[in-house]
Structure 1
Amino acid sequence: MHEPSAPNPAPRRRDGDTRQGVGDTRRRVGVMGGTFDPIHHGHLVAASEVADRYDLDEVVFVPTGQPWQKSGSEVSTAEDRYLMTVIATASNPRFSVSRVDIERDKATYTVDTLRDLRSLMPDAQLYFITGADAIASILSWQNWTELFELARFVGVSRPGYDLHVEHLAEHLEKLPADTVGLVEIPALAISSTDCRTRVRDHRPIWYLVPDGVVQYITKRNLYRPANSRRLDGAATVSYPHAESHPHPESHPHPERKTTQ
Structure 2
Amino acid sequence: MRNINKNYSSLKSLAIMGGTFDPIHYGHLVTAEAVRYKYNIDKVLFMPAGNPPHKEYDKITHSEHRYLMGVLATATNPYFDVSRMEIDRKGVTYTIDTIKSLRQMYGEEIELYFITGADAIKEIFTWKNPEELFKLCTFVAVTRPEYYKEELIEKVKTIRNEYESKIHFLEVPALSISSTDIRNRVKNKMPIKYLVPESVENYIYKFNLYI
TM-score by length of 2: 0.89
Map of 1:134 onto structure 2: 120
Of 126, 149, 156 in structure 1, the residue corresponding to residue 135 of structure 2 is: 149
Other structure's SS at 2:173 match: coil
CA contact (8 A) 1:40 1:192 kept: yes
Aligned partner of 1:168 in structure 2 is 155
1:89 aligns to 2:71 (yes or no): no
Q: Please say if 1:207 is aligned against 2:194.
A: yes
Which amino acid is 2:98 matched to?
T
Deviation at 1:137, TM superposition (A): 3.0
Larger helix proportion of the pair: 2
Aligned to 1:59: 44
Superposed, 1:30-49 pairs within 5 Å as: 30-49=15-34
Q: Give 2:202's aligned amino acid.
A: Q
Distance (Å, rounded) in 1 between the aligned partners of 2:193 and 2:154: 37
- Between the two proteins, the alignment pairs up a number of residues equal to 208
Q: How many Å apart are 1:27 and its aligned residue?
A: 1.1
Please list the CA deviations of residues 181-240 of structure 1 after superposition, one character each: whole Å capped at 9, or x if unmatched.
Answer: 11111244211011011111111111100110001111111111xxxxxxxxxxxxxxxx
Distance 1:147 1:219, change over 3 A: same
Which protein is bigger by CA-based radius of gyration? 1
CA distance in 1, matches of 2:49, 2:188: 26
* Residue 253 (structure 1) aligns with: none
Kept in 2: contact 1:86–1:96 (CA 8 A):
yes
Give the superposition deviation at 1:108: 1.1
How far did residue 163 of structure 1 move?
2.9
- Counterpart of 1:27 (choices 3, 7, 12) is 12
Q: Structure 1: where are the runs of 5+ without partners?
A: 10-25, 225-260
Residues 65 and 152 of structure 1: CA distance in aligned 2, closer, same or farther (over 3 Å)? same
Deviation at 1:72, TM superposition (A): 6.7
Deviations 1:11-58 (A, max 9, x none): xxxxxxxxxxxxxxx611100111001000001111111101110000
Contact 1:38 1:192 in 2 (8 A): yes
Task: Give the aligned partner of residue 75 of structure 1.
Answer: 60
Q: Which has the higher contact order (CA 8 A, sep 6+)?
A: 1
Identity of aligned residues (%): 46
Residue 105 of structure 1: how far off its partner (Å): 1.1
Map of 2:85 onto structure 1? 100
Q: Is the 8 A contact 2:139 2:166 kept in 1?
A: yes
RMSD: 2.0
- In the superposition, relative to structure 1, how do residues 71 and 134 fare at CA in structure 2: closer, same or farther (>3 Å)? closer
Residues 200 and 136 of structure 1: CA distance in aligned 2, closer, same or farther (over 3 Å): closer
Compute the displacement of 1:135 (Å). Answer: 2.2
> Are the equivalent residues in 2 in contact too, given 1:133–1:168 (CA < 8 A)?
no
Match of 1:184 among 149, 153, 171: 171
Q: Secondary structure at the match of 1:76?
A: coil
Q: Hey, what's the Cα distance between the residues in 2 that align with 1:69 and 1:178?
A: 23
Cα pair 1:100 1:116 within 8 Å, conserved: no
Q: Aligned equivalents of 1:153 and 1:210: distance in 2?
A: 27
Unaligned runs of 5+ in 2: none
- After TM superposition, the structure 1 stretch with the greater mean CA deviation from structure 2, 51-60 or 63-72, is 63-72
Residue 93 of structure 1 aligns with an amino acid whose one-letter code is P
Which residue identity does 1:214 align to in structure 2?
Answer: E
User: Does the 8 Å contact 1:32/1:47 carry over to 2?
Assistant: yes
